[in-house]
Every structure is written in C-alpha cells, then in structure tokens.
C-alpha cells in the first residue's frame, strides 16, 4: 500500500512536537499525572474581546468565502502594524493572510523551490522547515550554531554552507527551540551578504512579542529597502495573542507579484482563512487592550524563564544558556543522554520515570539537548524540574 504513495510523501515525518504533546494529553486522559513541557503554545486563553469579535462576525453572517489574500480590513490593519511596530512599509497588496505561519512557509517553499535548490537552515531549527523543504524537492542545508555563543547565528556560521544552488536562508529570531535572538549588527551583516549573493530570506518572526532583558526585536525587512526586496516577513497571531487554534498567519512579501502568487496558491488550496476568525484577528490588532494582554504574557514568560533556569541549574551536569526570547529553554543534557542510545530514549525515560514530557534535541537537529517549553504554571515548573532532577539522580 505505502509504495503507492507519491515519492514526495514517502519519507514525510509527523511533527515530533505535536506528537509529544498528544502523547502527554493521552496519558493525562488515562489519569496519569504527566507534566507537559512539550507544547509550543502559550497557556493563556485567547482574550475575551477577540473571541467576542469573532462571535459577532459569525452572528452577523461572516460565514461565507472571503477573498483569498485575506479580508481587506485585516490586510490594511496588518500594513499599519508592520509600519508602526516593525518599521516596514508594506502595501496591503503585499500582504497575504493564510492558515497560520506554518501554511505560509509551506506555500513560500512551494513558490520558490525547484528540485535541488538549497535552503540554509540554522540549526537547531524549528521542526517543520526541513520537512516542508524536502516535500518540494528542496535540499535543507543545516547550518549549526554554537552552544557557546548562545546559539545566536552569525555570518561566519553561514558562509561555509553557501553554494551556487543556495536559494533561501531561514532566519528565526527569537528562535524555536533555543530562544536565541540575532543582534541588529549581525542581522545586517547576514542580510547584506544575502543581498549580495541573491539569496532570499524568510524571516520567521512568530515570537517577536516575547523578548527579555530589554532586548528589542528587529525585523529583517526593516533594515533597508533593498533588504526588504529579498525578504519574506512571516508572522502569525498564534503565539502573540495566544490564538494557536485559530490558524491565522500573515506574510509581508518583497513585492506585489509574490503576494499574488501566494494568493493564487491560497485560492487553489485553502481558499481563505476562516472568515470570522479573521475578524477576531482584526480585533487583536485594533483593540488597545490587546497590547496590555501581550505585555502581561511577556512579563509572565520572562519571570518563568528565570524560574526554570534557576531550577535547571540545580540539576547536576546540565548546562543551559539564558534565552533572550520565545518561551523555551534548550539545556544540554549530553552527560545524561550518554547513558542511553540517544536523546529520544532519554526523553522516553523522563516520560516513564518522571512523568514529564519534553522534546529531544534531535527533533531540532541537535542531539543531546532537550527543548523545555515554559508555558506552564510556576508550580508545574518547580514540580517538573524536581521530577527531572530525581529521575536523573537515579541514573548516577
Ligand atoms: C518558529 C515557528 N514558526 C512557525 C510556527 C507555526 O505557527 P502557526 O501556528 O502560526 O502556524 C511555529 C509554531 O510552533 C514556530 O515555532
């Protein structure tokens, strides 16, 4: 049966992060007290005023097909958002709304990649980049970043991997899974290099709202007009407004032509993002209460980051960087992983022994580490890290 599948999907892997969250949920449903640190989503509910705006739209009959690129007021509000918050001037016609950042990335790879085109993927990387690239015949080229430098990407990391087939560089600052950010000066060096070499940049800025220690997120396309012309700025409502299940993402394109192709791809695949969900997203941009909500989440995450770091430091032979963004820590457990075949087995041990769900680093192309999301209450963080510590003590 499987041999009847297209060669493109033969080796397609499911998202390991979604799989681990599903496993943790399943165990909990069986009455097992599992603490889940696997999820890549805020533990806050979507604000009521956003839900109410969507309900209102639904009740007023916004239940039909909508324009494939997104409803006009949302694209206009996004142009305003890009200008005010990111310092990028996109026309509404350069912006396309689709079913989450994930689907936009999928469509951008479909639009750009020919067989054998290479995409530079700074590693550790978010799990879907490599699978999506391969689906469209592209070749993901892993660009390792250094733990000693806090996993922050530099131009020197990239240069050895550039060939005449390099078509795209992915930037993801703040990064999933490391929480690393790229400082403005380095970002500029990288972007100017890409401009010079004719390499497109996909700047995945899904975690822009969550930065710490006073670090201010810088959008790649804001650096200058020429850089903007090679950059796709991908973002979503998912993390910023805790709207992961709504499936609303957006992209600012280098020009209208690219936006038109993405719109056509939308129109031939999803048609449009659920119409009333787009009205909810519009409210998130328009309602001043939304800013306060995001800031409340940001300060909560910053506090939890400090808490989880302090607890991780109590675990022997574990090294961890202080992430400047997102809501993950990516500690080095190599000393302990060495007692197992690999980090997948180690994560399975923690699930069985400690009843704690975490994602092994190999899922992100970086063996021997764990991604631990801190979208959990303080009590869960304290209890979860204590459980990991005890399970580890049993190994020595
Ligand atoms: C780096 C990164 N990009 C994109 C996405 C996808 O976000 P969305 O829910 O908008 O599809 C995620 C979600 O985990 C992510 O971590």
Q: What is the pLDDT of residues 143-196, one digit of tens each?
A: 999 999 999 999 999 999 999 999 999 999 999 999 999 999 999 999 999 999
**201 CB-near residues (< 8 Å, 6+ apart):** 168, 169, 170, 171, 191, 194, 220, 227, 230, 231, 232
Among residues 245, 270, 287, which one ends one of the domains? Answer: 287
Inside any domain, residue 157: yes
CB 123 within 8 A of CB 144: yes
User: Do residues 254 and 322 both lie within one domain?
Assistant: no
User: Residue 53 domain-assigned?
Assistant: no
Q: Give the number of the atom of ligand 1 that is nearest the alpha carbon of residue 248.
A: 10
Q: How far apart are CA 17 and CA 358, in angstroms?
A: 9
Domain stops at, among 287, 320, 338: 287
SS (H, E, C) 84-139: HHHCCCCCHHHEEEECHHHHHHHHHHHHHCCCCCEEEEEECCCHHHHHHHHHCCCE
Rounded to whole angstroms, the Cα distance separating 336 from 162 reads 35
Indicate which residue's Cα is closest to atom 13 of ligand 1. 40
Contact 238, 205 (CB under 8 A): no
52 inside domain = no
My answer on whether 22 and 70 are in the same domain is no
CA-17 nearest atom, ligand 1: 14
* Ligand 1 atom nearest to CA at 99: 11
Mutate to test the pocket of ligand 1, among 131, 132, 173, 238 (most ligand atoms within 8 A of CB): 238
Residue nearest to atom 14 of ligand 1 (CA): 40
Give the chain's radius of gyration (CA, Å): 21
Q: Which atom from ligand 1 is nearest to the alpha carbon of 172?
A: 1
The CATH number given to whatever domain includes residue 134 is 3.40.640.10
Which of 46, 102, 107, 243 to probe ligand 1 with, by most ligand atoms within 8 A of CB?
Answer: 102
CA–CA distance, 62 with 275 (Å, rounded to integer): 6
Atom 16 of ligand 1, residue of closest alpha carbon = 176
20 and 37 in one domain? yes
| Host H or E run for residue 171 | strand 166-171
Task: Supply the pLDDT for residue 18.
Answer: 73
Q: Using the mean position of ligand 1's atoms as its centre, give its distance from the Cα of residue 206 in Å.
A: 6
Residue 358, in any domain of the structure: yes
Same domain, 309 and 359: yes
Q: Are residues 273 and 300 in the same domain?
A: no
- Quick: pLDDT tens for 92-126: 999 999 999 999 999 999 999 999 999 999 999 99
User: Which ligand 1 atom sits closest to the C-alpha of 104?
Assistant: 11
Contact between 171 and 202 (Cβ < 8 Å): yes
Report the separation in Å between the CA atom of 56 and the middle of ligand 1, taken as the mean of its atom positions: 27
Does 55 map to a domain? no
Q: Are residues 307 and 387 in the same domain?
A: yes
> Does one domain contain both 296 and 282?
no
CA 54/CA 378 separation, integer angstroms = 31
* CATH number of the domain encompassing residue 304: 3.90.1150.10
Distance 172 CA to ligand 1 centre (A): 10
Closest CA to 211 of 313, 100, 322: 322
Q: Can you give the pLDDT at residue 24? A: 82
How far apart are the CA of 1 and the centre of ligand 1, in A? 32
- SS3 percent helix, strand, coil of the chain, rounded to 5, is 50, 15, 40
Q: Domain for residue 219, yes or no? A: yes
Nearest to 278 by CA among 65, 19, 4: 65
Structural domain includes residue 56: no
Tens of pLDDT, residues 21-76: 777 888 889 999 999 998 889 999 999 999 999 999 999 999 999 999 999 999 99
- Write the CB contacts of 142 (distance below 8 Å, at least 6 apart in sequence): 121, 123, 125, 130, 365
Judgement on whether residues 33 and 160 belong to the same structural domain of the protein: no
Whose CA is closest to 391, among 365, 374, 373, 370? 370
Q: What is the pLDDT of residues 185-230, one digit of tens each?
A: 999 999 999 999 999 999 999 999 999 999 999 999 999 999 999 9
Give the atom of ligand 1 at the shortest distance from the alpha carbon of 326: 16
Cα–Cα nearest to 174, from 197, 152, 144: 152
The angle at the Cα of 345, spanning 125 to 128, to the nearest 5 degrees, equals 25
Domain end marker among 287, 318, 346: 287
**What is the atom index within ligand 1 of the atom nearest the CA of 204?**
3
Q: Is the pLDDT of residue 14 over 90?
A: no
Pocket residues: Cβ below 6 A from ligand 1: 40, 100-102, 126, 172, 176, 204, 206, 236, 238, 244, 249
Kindly give the distance from the C-alpha atom of residue 327 to the centroid of ligand 1, in angstroms, as a whole number. Answer: 12
Ligand 1 centroid to 101 CA: how many Å?
A: 6
pLDDT in tens, 238-284: 999 999 999 999 999 999 999 999 999 999 999 999 999 999 999 99
Ligand 1, atom nearest to 237 Cα:
10
Determine the structural domain holding residue 41 and report its residue range: 2-45+291-393
Distance 244 CA to ligand 1 centre (A): 9
Same domain, 192 and 102: yes
pLDDT given at position 138: 97
Indicate if 322 and 247 belong to the same structural domain. no
Residue 187 lies in a domain: yes
Judgement on whether residues 236 and 297 belong to the same structural domain of the protein? no
Same structural domain for residues 34 and 68? Answer: no
Number of structural domains, the chain? 2
**From ligand 1's centre to the CA of 307, what distance in Å?**
25
Ligand 1 pocket mutation, candidates 239, 245, 330, criterion most atoms within 8 A of CB? 239
Average pLDDT of the chain, as a whole number: 96
Q: Tell me: the pLDDT tens digits for 286-337?
A: 999 999 999 999 999 999 999 999 999 999 999 999 999 999 999 999 999 9
Structure confidence at residue 25 (pLDDT): 83
- What 3-state class would DSSP assign to 260? helix
């Amino acid at each position: 049966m499987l041999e009847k599948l297209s060669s493109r999907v033969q080796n397609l892997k499911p998202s390991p992060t979604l799989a681990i969250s599903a496993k943790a949920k399943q165990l909990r449903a069986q009455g097992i007290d599992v603490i889940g640190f696997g999820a890549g989503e805020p533990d806050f509910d979507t604000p009521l005023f956003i839900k109410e705006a969507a309900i209102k739209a639904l009740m007023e009959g916004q239940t039909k097909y909508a324009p494939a690129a997104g409803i006009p007021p949302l694209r206009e509000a996004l142009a305003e958002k890009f200008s005010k918050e990111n310092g990028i001037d996109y026309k509404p016609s350069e912006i396309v709304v689709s079913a989450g950042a994930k689907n936009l990335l999928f469509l951008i790879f479909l639009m750009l990649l020919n067989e054998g085109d290479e995409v530079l993927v700074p590693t550790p990387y978010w799990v879907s980049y490599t699978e999506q690239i391969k689906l469209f015949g592209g070749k993901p080229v892993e660009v390792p970043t250094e733990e000693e430098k806090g996993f922050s990407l530099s131009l020197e990391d990239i240069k050895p991997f550039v060939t005449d087939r390099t078509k795209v560089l992915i930037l993801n600052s703040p990064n999933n899974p490391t929480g690393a950010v790229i400082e403005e000066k380095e970002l500029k060096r990288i972007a100017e290099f890409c401009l010079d070499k004719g390499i497109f940049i996909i700047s995945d800025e899904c975690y822009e709202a969550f930065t710490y220690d006073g670090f201010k997120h810088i959008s790649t396309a804001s650096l200058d007009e020429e850089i903007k012309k090679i950059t796709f700025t991908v973002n979503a409502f998912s993390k910023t407004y805790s709207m992961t299940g709504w499936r609303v993402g957006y992209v600012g394109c280098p020009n209208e032509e690219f936006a038109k192709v993405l719109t056509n791809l939308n129109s031939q695949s999803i048609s449009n993002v659920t119409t009333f969900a787009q009205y909810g997203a519009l409210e998130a941009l328009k309602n001043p209460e939304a800013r306060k909500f995001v800031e409340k989440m940001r300060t909560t995450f910053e506090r939890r980051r400090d808490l989880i770091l302090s607890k991780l430091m109590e675990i022997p032979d574990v090294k961890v960087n202080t992430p400047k963004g997102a809501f993950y820590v990516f500690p080095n457990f190599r000393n302990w992983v060495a007692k197992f075949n690999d980090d997948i087995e180690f994560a399975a041990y923690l699930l069985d022994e400690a009843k704690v769900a975490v994602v092994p680093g190999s899922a992100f192309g970086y063996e021997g580490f764990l991604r631990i999301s801190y979208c959990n209450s303080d009590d869960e963080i304290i209890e979860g890290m204590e459980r990991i510590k005890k399970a580890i003590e049993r190994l020595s």
